Amino acid sequence: MEMPIVADVLVHRSIQITFIQYHHMVDHSPETVADPVLGDAILQRTSEAGSFDLDETWHRGPSLLSAQSSKGLARHLNQFFALRVCIRPPPRVHFSLCSPFRSLQIRFPFTLKRMILTLEWTSEGVRFIDQTKLPLEETYVIATSYSQVADVIVTMVVRGAPAIGVSAAFGISLGAQKTDAATTEEFAPEFAHICAVLAGTRPTAVNLFWAIDRMKALFAKLQANGASLAEVQKALLADALAMYDEDIAACKAMGAYGAELMPDEGGVLTHCNAGALATCGYGTALGVIRGAVERGKQIHVFADETRPFLQGARLTAWELMADGIPTTVLCDNMAASLMRQGRIQAVVVGADRIAANGDVANKIGTYSVAILAKEHGIPFYVAAPWSTIDRATATGDQIPIEERSPTEVTHHGGKQLTPHGVGICNPAFDVTPAKYVTAIITERGILRAPYSETLQAMELVAR
């Protein structure tokens, strides 16, 4: 009989952990295991659940799992027990787990917070935090069909290249689960239509097409092998959930690599939101900042408000405030002044697509920040998962740039700000030439110019 697993706590691998174990139930010997997917999950195999208590301010009882695979276990941890670590010196926090059969004590100068769940697969459908309502309302949307997932992407309830990619994979899975087809062959035309609908949502983020292509390749393989529709449904969902796990693991790896590039203390500017809300958790650019803070670096974040959708003012500030990381929001046209005053020591941003030569497409306004950083001798870093790199696109000139609705510029909070009939230009992204990029931070390592060579070399190593 398989023993249930109790998830005790998920912490960063660099934290020193002391286990103090005693046995009240002699029938079962505890076995400490580390999850191979995340690499930093500390689990205790036992037959009963305990409870968490952190300075009397955070309490949660772990639920019993029946882990069918390490990936399934990691997914459960990500959804319900994933914790972030934030520095709070000088007091030392005492964290203990108490149960009838053992105790766990961890002493370290951090506080723990739950990871933001940008999206998650549930029995009801795909659950999204509604980013259009943040920061004043924390509400959630359930998408129960692929068309609803497409709408969630278009309306920017969910946004950020990595999150969009996994959302599309979940949307395809939903479509497969809800089909009226009886066989794989009968479902094939519908599958193609579902992929086309999701591919038409937003053109710039290459992660969207990467995820869809991965699902297409899986479906083609299953179809060629004569898989039943039930097998196809199961495999598509498993792969979408794997993408979810992989994204969080990639963000944590980027955070570890990028933390070394951040200043020991000082200001770090970021543009738009490349945090947990733009990914499945932890974040890319904000993951780098989190990684630096976890290592004891004294970082003060300057967040561009990021007109016209205000991702920096609304989302980045909300995330970092929740983590207790010092944050100041500034208007987009204030960055140069702060750089000249010496208040910015580094810039780190995310990306929606990186061309083979290192040109970077990111939220509109990134290009001007890169130019300003170059002028002031400030390093400009880009953090993005490998799925954001599009080696099929030679340069940034070939990256399609999405044009958003004029109302994002003409209106705010339901109130019109501009004269009737005035022309509006609202590109969602711009392209920063590779010459302005100091380094690209990925889960595989750090890339430096010439990017066409280093990208190719890292791709060959990965194979």
* Closest to 273 measured CA to CA, from 215, 197, 327, 200: 327
Structure tokens, 383: 């953090």
**What is the Cα–Cα distance from 364 to 353, expressed in whole angstroms?**
13
User: Which residues lie below 8 Å from residue 250, measured CB to CB, with a gap of 6+?
Assistant: 162, 385, 386, 442, 443
**What is the Cα–Cα distance from 456 to 160, expressed in whole angstroms?**
25
**What is the Cα–Cα distance from 415 to 318, expressed in whole angstroms?**
23
Structure tokens, 366: 């990134």
Residue 44: helix, strand or coil by DSSP?
A: strand
Q: Which residues are catalytic?
A: 352
**What is the Cα–Cα distance from 396 to 159, expressed in whole angstroms?**
21
Structure tokens, 408: 């994002």
Cα→Cα distances 343→329, 337, 370, Å: 13, 9, 16
**What is the Cα–Cα distance from 439 to 420, expressed in whole angstroms?**
44
* Closest to 440 measured CA to CA, from 332, 363, 357, 336: 357
* Closest to 319 measured CA to CA, from 49, 135, 160: 135
* Closest to 245 measured CA to CA, from 68, 33, 36, 8: 36
DSSP string for residues in 259-275: HTTS-SEEEEEE-S--B
- The H or E element spanning position 302 is strand 298-304
Are 396 and 355 in contact by the 8 Å Cβ rule? The answer is: yes
Backbone angles phi, psi at 268, to 5 degrees: -125, 125
What number of residues does the chain have? 463
Cα→Cα distances 358→76, 190, 411, 436, Å: 36, 37, 35, 10
Structure tokens, 388: 């954001």
Structure tokens, 217: 């390749």
Cis peptide before 308 (omega within 30 of 0): yes
Strands (E), 357-438: 360-363, 380-383, 389-390, 411-412, 415-416, 429-432
